[in-house]
């Protein structure tokens, strides 16, 4: 049984990819939520419900999906999970091409609401990154 679990465990690269996958998904939902709010689309009768959905979705992705991904079995020391996860999140936060995510979210909001929100769009992302840090530190206590 222990051998099987060891074979199923993630190596550092797979673990890092898994962290990135979950954070990027939640980040996209958060950005759509913030862009729509900042554009004043909350009262849209046809699609206003999407703003609440995106808000729920990014939080669900972080709280329910990301935590098990952080706690997955690894082939390296379990104590290495925290610095690996924090390092990947720092890379994501500091990426030079982070604007790609914002642009994608802006296009999605435009499509879903039938509006034309123009560039530049600079949603406040500090809350999102603080939530990610809090989730990691809670899920992987030292």
Residue 80's pLDDT is what? 84
Residue from 126, 139, 35, 27 nearest 86 by CA? 139
Domain residue limits, the chain: 10-139
Q: Rounded to 5 degrees, what angle do the CA atoms 104, 109, 115 make? A: 125
Residue 96's pLDDT is what? 61
Ranges under pLDDT 70 in the chain: 1-8, 96-97, 142
Residue 76's pLDDT is what? 77
Which residues fall within 8 angstroms of residue 120, CB to CB, at 6 or more apart?
none
Q: Is the preceding peptide bond at 120 cis, omega within 30 degrees of 0?
A: yes
pLDDT in tens, 20-47: 999 999 999 999 999 999 988 887 777 8
């Amino acid at each position: 049984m222990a051998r099987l679990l060891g074979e199923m465990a993630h190596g550092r690269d797979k673990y890092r990819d898994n962290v990135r996958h979950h954070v990027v998904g939640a980040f996209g939902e958060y950005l759509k939520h913030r862009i729509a709010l900042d554009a004043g689309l909350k009262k849209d009768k046809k699609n206003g419900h999407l703003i609440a959905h995106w808000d729920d979705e990014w939080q669900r992705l972080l709280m329910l999906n990301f935590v098990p991904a952080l706690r997955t079995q690894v082939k390296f020391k379990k104590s290495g999970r925290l610095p690996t996860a924090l390092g990947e999140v720092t890379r994501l936060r500091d990426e030079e091409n982070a604007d790609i995510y914002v642009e994608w979210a802006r296009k999605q909001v435009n499509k879903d609401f039938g509006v034309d929100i123009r560039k530049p769009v600079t949603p406040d992302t500090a809350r999102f990154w603080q939530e990610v840090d809090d989730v990691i530190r809670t899920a992987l206590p030292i």
